[in-house]
Structure 1
Amino acid sequence: MIFSFAAGYDGHIIGSVFGVLFLAAFAALVHRHSHLRERIRLQDSLTAVIQSFLCRFDGRWKDFAADGADMMQKDCPQQSDLSVFGHASLYQYLSCARTLRGCRRLAAALTAVPPGRSKILARQQAVAELIKKPLLCLRLEARGRLLPEHHDTTELLEELETQPAGSSRIAGSRTIRFFPLIVLLSLILAGFGQLSWTAAGLLTAFQFLLAMAFHRRNQKILAPLASLTHELHQYEVLFREIEQADFSSTTLRALQQRLRDGGAGDCLHKLAALTDRVAMGRNLFFFVLANTLFLWDCHQAAAFSRWRESAAENLREWIDIWSEMEVLLSLAVVGHTRTVYTFPELRQGQPELTARRLSPLLIDEEKAVPNDADFTAGACIITGSNMSGKTTYLRALASSAVLAYAGAPVCAEFFALTPLHIFTSIQVNDDPARGISTFYAELLRIRQMVRFSRRKAPMLICIDEIFKGTNSADRITGAKEALRRLIRPWCITLVTTHDFELCDLHSPNDLPVTNCHFEEFYEDGKIRFDYRRKPGRCQTTNARYLLRMAGILSDEETDNLG
């Protein structure tokens, strides 16, 4: 191309013609190479998405880097008690979010505080449709995965919504529109001998000096596009994918229509193309040639200013729509990876929590043992041997409520509940730095429950081995007093314990206090568990057998204890 143009400069017109042809061929090859490279990246991303789903079947999902640990709130113990965030958590299993806004929105959705009924039902409707469209979910997640992890658009949105001074004057300047035409015409006339090369050269040099005069201002205007070429192309494709999808649910159609009304796909296409052109200007050879002949940077600054005036105000809304789609895709994971699932039924009236064949999401479906639940206002004292499944049962109930509030399906044949504020005391730790023992830490949890109960707001209270950090006499006395204050007409209170004395607890206000238990059985001299909830109090203990299993006691010593 260079030699052809040189020949044209020496007076061989055919050289100029071939120079143009070589330039066009080079541009086509670059475009083709970029297209193929993008297809390869998309295929790699699709493969990674499919692999992530396979990991959810064999337990490797616990190695996912995105576990939401940074989203955990210190004043919300339910998040650690129910494994909402952190290693082997609900967030780690579910998350398909790639952007920082999507991650935060998903974290906010996994809440122990019930949101409005309409919000839950709207998300349920959208998630249910996405579960029926697995290929669409794969494409969207694969495209989203091409964005940088925790991609944050906050700074970009703020820059785009702030129009730099002077940009409107550049956008409306006639100089940048007509002067390049004059320069090009002078070069053509010089090439055909109708004008001296000196005159054409002077005009060209003047135009380059003009470009340099505007250079600093242009760079300030174009600064938000400095490193966003790849990301903008991905957003463009994502918006077009959503715009063109065949949705039937009200929620997804509403999101889709908001993108269509603003022309999100077309606007992002223009911005992505503009960013490509700005990126080309970072090549020194192109920068000199394009600004010398076309006032390239001035044209891009003007185009960007016009785009800002027409579309920048909608970009924040479009980005938020994608972050909501990331949440919906994440919640749909339950339906894509489980054969038994249902959308919770939201009921009104007195506190209620009902489930049929409910199992925890975080336990492999083939290994999980399903259980039923049928709780109303009052208390249930849950007894049972060590390792029999009491704590897992509490977590399954409360974590399923968290999924229900997010709008996700739960792992059950049937699940219904009234909106309940979830309070837990399961994984209680001491804090030596603050001088707080395990017992006192649990007291603080119970105090929080008692104080909240005075609001008379519906509550689901899950307490595992109540007051386990103190001696048996104080534990029983303290537990009875605490439970009398937590057995209210607006509370479902579930308590596990090894103290059978609590099984005879009487309600101070005629609310039911029931008992259920988990137990072990023995086979070939070994302890076994069926992990099934049974009515009534437990009649067995297994501490001596667990001591033998741990190698602390011999068989003879175990028999003597018996």
Structure 2
Amino acid sequence: MDGKSTIIKTVQQDIISNYTRAAELAKQEADKYKKLANTYSLLRLGIFGLMIFSVYLTIQQDNFTIMAVGFVILLAGFAWLVARQGEYERQRNYYLDLERINLNELNSLQTNTNLYNSGQQYSNEKHFYSSDLDIFGNASLYNLINRAATSAGNDKLAAWLNAPADKPTILSRQEAVKEIAANNDWKVNTQTKLLFATKEDTDQMKRLFVYLGVPLELSGEKWLSAYIKIAPYLLFGTILAGVFFYPLFVLIAVAIAFFNTLILLSKGSYILKAGAVADKIGSVLTNYAIVFKAIESNQWQSEKCAKLNEKLRVNQTSKNIEELSKLINKLSYSLIMIVGFILNVFFLWALKQIILIEKWKRNNRHNFEEAFDVIAEFEALMSIAVPSINYPEWTYPVIADTEGYTVIAKNIAHPLIRGKRVDNDYDLKDAYSIDIITGSNMAGKSTFLRTIGINTVLALAGAKVCAAAMEVSVITIVSYMRIKDSLNESTSTFKAELDRLQMLLAAVEHEHRVFFLIDEMLRGTNSMDKYLGSKAVIEQLISKKGVGMVATHDLQIARLEDKYPAYVRNYYFDIQVLKGEMLFDYKIKHGECKTFNASLLLKQIGINVESE
């Protein structure tokens, strides 16, 4: 093992040790708060026992004062214990989630598993490159880096990986990623606070956005607001007057209670609609308020993070979301049978909260979705910061601004390959050219194309790349690699290849700076048509000033370098055969491949190929 490999292994072990230690500490804290919560739960039982004992003493001493005073004191104590227990349970849940987050980083590093979404829903075989380059799904780039809990965050990250950003956007993301990577504690804590959203009902949040975006237009809101303020005083006053002074006031109190009930019944549709939204949303909004506060309280230096944060601070987002969550939680009180009845009769509680929510909507609804988009943006940034934190040996690419195409890489390797990765160099500097890559089966041609492609996707999303150095233009990757037939669409392999070729040629002509990756064209036809067709396609790409790589087994294709020496370059991957055994070095070299291995591979399964 060379010195560089030893250093990388040592650094990686330090990262693993840090996550292991953090997970252990989080577990210890969770256990501590669990014990405290259990203790306070037992104390609550003790309070309940004392209440029963006060009833016993009241009966024995025939003194109602004992129970009255005892209940007041014990109820206050009980409420305090409930509050403390709730706080300890919240702390316990936080540290349990913190343990999960740290263990997830360990699993990602060691087994390539991830508790977050793998992005399977974004898989699209008709996309320019995502299917061929393993961008989405199990064992994908998305699965490696995704740390987004919200559906909006997942969508945002997928969009970044699905298309290249422009140079200013890439550079601003790089700057933001560097800041987040330097503050991994903040990232891990924010992920912990957002972990609840992995179990979130997406439709529920959509319903909330619709509800908050559409005013209820409550008829009579002005006089109802005024009446709600005086209603409890009227009812309490008439009850007291009826009990202590004039019995007639009891009837007036009943009439007021009946009138309040009629008001609530007349607005029943509004209350039901709001109640449906209130169900479980209040606690979710409380959780989001905590996340907004975590973003707002940090002193951001990078331009992108600072701008995102400013959107929240200007609108006092965490404070406003917390206020809304309290209003919705209060509205949910009216759904509790006996408590709700009393609150509604005396305070017109549900209607009062709905009016307050409507006022909140009028003042804040325009900023609401924008605020949640800030969280999605931070989640996407935290995701593309993962390589910077977990793989410090990777590098930030230089974004070239050249007239021609630039893709330069030193020691570039495939980020999804575990264990010993073989790296390569590649050099396309401010040029227009097509590289023909020949080589044996399993020698590394396809992997090299995917290595260039997937690292380019990372680079143009704003992330680090799996290389010692990389410089790349803002280009649009278009791949032609995994071509499959489709029974559902009645498409043969050859027809599927023609469709992909048509898409590629159209992209070269109409899309911005296409860089294509072609692996073995026209496999679904005979060898002569395959050669003639492949040659014709490459010549058409040359005529369109197309730029990219073509991997092939067909040595005749390499002859195009003789015809187009200023445009075509030849590379190859070869093998060495020692005593009938094939040895691969997976290193790309200039020139044409001279050694092929199909006959050796067939011989290994019992088929001898005789030369003619």
Would the aligned equivalents of 2:334 and 2:350 in 1 still touch at CA under 8 Å?
yes
Query: How far apart are residue 319 of structure 1 and its match?
Result: 0.7
Letter in 2 for 1:448: M
Query: How far apart are residue 489 of structure 1 and its match?
Result: 7.5
Match of 2:18 in 1: none
Alpha-carbon distance between aligned partners in 2 of 1:208 and 1:527, rounded to the nearest angstrom: 92
Match of 1:387 in 2: 442
Would the aligned equivalents of 2:315 and 2:367 in 1 still touch at CA under 8 Å?
yes
Query: Which of 135, 147, 152 is equivalent to 1:84?
Result: 135
Query: How far apart are residue 434 of structure 1 and its match?
Result: 3.9
Alpha-carbon distance between aligned partners in 1 of 2:589 and 2:578, rounded to the nearest angstrom: 20
Deviation per residue, 1:177-204 (Å, 9 max, x gap): 12213434566678xx854687468526
Mean CA deviation greater in 312-321 or 93-102: 93-102
Match of 2:19 in 1: none
Would the aligned equivalents of 1:99 and 1:323 in 2 still touch at CA under 8 Å?
yes
1:329 matched to 2:379? no
User: What's the C-alpha RMSD, in Å, of the aligned pairs?
Assistant: 3.0
1:156 matched to 2:228? no
Letter in 2 for 1:73: N
Query: How far apart are residue 539 of structure 1 and its match?
Result: 1.9
Q: Report SS of the residue matched to 2:465.
A: coil
Alpha-carbon distance between aligned partners in 2 of 1:104 and 1:293, rounded to the nearest angstrom: 46
- Structure 2 portions without partners, runs of 5+: 1-47
1:30 matched to 2:82? yes
Alpha-carbon distance between aligned partners in 2 of 1:464 and 1:500, rounded to the nearest angstrom: 14
Alpha-carbon distance between aligned partners in 1 of 2:578 and 2:353, rounded to the nearest angstrom: 78
CA shift in 2, pair 1:21/1:161, >3 Å: farther
Deviation per residue, 1:131-189 (Å, 9 max, x gap): 11111111111111112446432221111011112177168622211221343456667
Alpha-carbon distance between aligned partners in 1 of 2:191 and 2:482, rounded to the nearest angstrom: 34
Would the aligned equivalents of 1:360 and 1:400 in 2 still touch at CA under 8 Å?
yes
Mean CA deviation greater in 207-216 or 536-545: 207-216
Match of 1:59 in 2: 111
Alpha-carbon distance between aligned partners in 2 of 1:404 and 1:24, rounded to the nearest angstrom: 59
Mean CA deviation greater in 402-411 or 169-178: 169-178
Match of 2:229 in 1: 177
Alpha-carbon distance between aligned partners in 1 of 2:553 and 2:488, rounded to the nearest angstrom: 30
Matches of residues 493-512 of structure 1 in structure 2 within 5 Å? 493-506=548-561, 511-512=566-567
Match of 2:178 in 1: 128
Query: Which of 559, 569, 576 is equivalent to 1:521?
Result: 576
Deviation per residue, 1:314-347 (Å, 9 max, x gap): 1111011111111111111111221321222111
Query: Which of 520, 525, 536 is equivalent to 1:481?
Result: 536
- Structure 1 portions without partners, runs of 5+: none
Match of 2:360 in 1: 307
CA shift in 2, pair 1:150/1:27, >3 Å: closer
Query: How far apart are residue 272 of structure 1 and its match?
Result: 1.5
Match of 1:439 in 2: 494
1:420 matched to 2:475? yes
Deviation per residue, 1:428-453 (Å, 9 max, x gap): 01124444322232222222222332
Match of 2:412 in 1: 358
1:97 matched to 2:148? yes
Letter in 2 for 1:132: A
1:241 matched to 2:241? no
TM-score of the two chains, using structure 1 as the length reference = 0.89
Alpha-carbon distance between aligned partners in 1 of 2:252 and 2:79, rounded to the nearest angstrom: 29
Mean CA deviation greater in 378-387 or 181-190: 181-190
Query: How far apart are residue 222 of structure 1 and its match?
Result: 4.5
Letter in 2 for 1:289: I
Letter in 2 for 1:427: R
Query: Which of 426, 449, 455 is equivalent to 1:400?
Result: 455
Would the aligned equivalents of 1:488 and 1:511 in 2 still touch at CA under 8 Å?
no
CA shift in 2, pair 1:241/1:456, >3 Å: closer
Deviation per residue, 1:278-328 (Å, 9 max, x gap): 233322122123234433223322321221122222111101111111111
Letter in 2 for 1:133: N
Would the aligned equivalents of 2:238 and 2:252 in 1 still touch at CA under 8 Å?
no
Query: As a proportion of its length, which structure holds more helix?
Result: 2
CA shift in 2, pair 1:60/1:458, >3 Å: closer
Would the aligned equivalents of 1:388 and 1:520 in 2 still touch at CA under 8 Å?
yes
Match of 2:92 in 1: 40
Letter in 1 for 2:546: C
Match of 1:226 in 2: 279
Letter in 2 for 1:118: P
Deviation per residue, 1:399-442 (Å, 9 max, x gap): 11111222111111211111112111110011244443222322
CA shift in 2, pair 1:196/1:488, >3 Å: farther
Query: How far apart are residue 130 of structure 1 and its match?
Result: 1.0
CA shift in 2, pair 1:496/1:31, >3 Å: same
Query: How far apart are residue 398 of structure 1 and its match?
Result: 0.9
Aligned residues: 549
Match of 2:523 in 1: 468
Deviation per residue, 1:357-414 (Å, 9 max, x gap): 11112112x4221111112421111112211111111011111111122211111121
Deviation per residue, 1:11-65 (Å, 9 max, x gap): 957755554444433333332232222222222221221122112122242x757
Alpha-carbon distance between aligned partners in 2 of 1:496 and 1:213, rounded to the nearest angstrom: 76
